[in-house]
Amino acid sequence: MAEEMNELQSLTIDGSEYKTRYTKKYANRRVWEYPDSRKVISYIPGTVIEQYFKDGDAVKAGEPIMLFEAMKMQTKVYMPYDGIIKNYCVAIGERYPKEHVLVEIE
C-alpha cells in the first residue's frame, strides 16, 4: 500500500500535465459530477417546515416551492425554471442531510 502511494500520478491543471504523488485523501475523494437540473438539492442539513405545492402541480420560475429551517434560520427554496413538481423527496417535519434531493422537477 505504501508503495502504491509513492507512485507518481498524472494531474492535469488548465491543460498542463504534472507528475505528482496523490495524498490518500485526494485519491479517495468523491469525483465531481455535472449537476442534474431536474433535481433541487440541499446544500446544508435542515428540516422541512412547509411545502407550497403538491406533486404534479405546475410552477413558474421564481415561485417559492418549500420552506426549510437550518441552523435556526428559515429559508425559502425557489423554483429554478418553469416546470411541474414530479416528487417532493422530503416530508414536512423531516430532517434531511447535506446534498439530499429535496424536489424532483419535470
Q: Read off the CATH number of the domain in which 91 is found.
A: 2.40.50.100
Q: The pTM is what?
A: 0.69
- Assess if residue 55 is contained within a domain: yes
DSSP SS3 for 79: coil
- Assess if residue 78 is contained within a domain: yes
- Assess if residue 68 is contained within a domain: yes
- Assess if residue 50 is contained within a domain: yes
User: Rounded to an integer, what distance in angstroms lies between the CA atom of residue 63 and that of residue 20?
Assistant: 48
- Assess if residue 31 is contained within a domain: no
Helices (H), the chain: 2-6, 24-27
For the chain (106 residues), the mean pLDDT of every run of 10, in chain order, is 67 91 88 88 92 93 93 92 93 92 92
- Assess if residue 25 is contained within a domain: no
- Assess if residue 10 is contained within a domain: no
- pLDDT in the model for residue 1: 46
- pLDDT in the model for residue 14: 92
Q: Please list the residues that pair with 88 across neighbouring strands.
A: 103
For 7-89, strand residue ranges (E) read 9-13, 16-20, 39-41, 46-51, 58-59, 64-70, 73-78, 83-88
- Assess if residue 63 is contained within a domain: yes
- pLDDT in the model for residue 5: 56
Tally of domains in the chain: 1
What residues make up the domain containing 96?
39-105
DSSP SS3 for 1: coil
